[in-house]
Amino acid sequence: MKPTTDLSSFDNRWYKPGPLHLRLGWYMINMLFFKPAWFPFNSVKRSLLRVFGAKVGKGVVIKPCVNIKYPWKLEIGDFSWIGEQVWIDNLAKVHIGDHVCISQGAMLLCGNHNYKKPSFDLIIQTIVLEDGVWIGAKTVVTAGTVCRTHSILTVGSIATGELAAYQIYQGNPAIVVRERTMDS
């Protein structure tokens, strides 16, 4: 007989995302100031992220309806943009470099589950978006992905592994479709 998934045996106790009071406090701030469409004030959002341990550079733009799991596991460089309805599910560290654009509805997912184990164990890995990266609308960046400088993930694509510098990726899984060239 083949083994079956047994979610009742799932044990996540090893994972320590942060103290309960910090998580609860962030949950309230996230719900009040980041997820709603009515609050567009970037300077306040940057300050709140810093209060909760995020490293946030200057000129960062955070559009309405953004969901961030744990700001103390987040680094955002200077002049980066986070578009509407972006979901940063940073169970592990997420590093966003300078001048990075994360477009509407993109998902950065640092966690997954081990489907080979009946207990469906949690797996977490970091995500790195180097300087000048553009993550297109409605894309997914999976755990362990590194997007090298100025790479592009096009609309609706799924990134796994490493995206090479100055390359444009498309599809599921995303593959190189051409080189990124820039006018001076």
Query: What domains are there in the chain, each with its CATH number?
Result: 19-179 (2.160.10.10)
Secondary-structure breakdown of the chain: helix, strand, coil percentages, each rounded to the nearest 5: 15, 30, 55
pLDDT of residue 61: 97
pLDDT in tens, 43-67: 999 999 999 999 999 999 999 999 9
Q: Cα(50)–Cα(44) distance, rounded to whole angstroms?
A: 10
pLDDT of residue 77: 98
pLDDT of residue 53: 98
pLDDT of residue 159: 98
Burial label for 27, CB within 10 Å (0-12, 13-18, 19+), is exposed
Q: What is the largest CA-CA distance in the chain?
A: 63
**Residue 43 zone, left/alpha/beta (φ > 0; ψ -120 to 50; rest):** alpha
Task: Please give the model's pTM, rounded to 2 decimal places.
Answer: 0.95
pLDDT tens string, the chain, 184 residues long: the values are 888 999 999 999 999 999 999 999 999 999 999 999 988 899 999 999 999 999 999 999 999 999 999 999 999 999 999 999 999 999 999 999 999 999 999 999 999 999 999 999 999 999 999 999 999 999 999 999 999 999 999 999 999 999 999 999 999 999 999 999 999 8
pLDDT of residue 3: 87
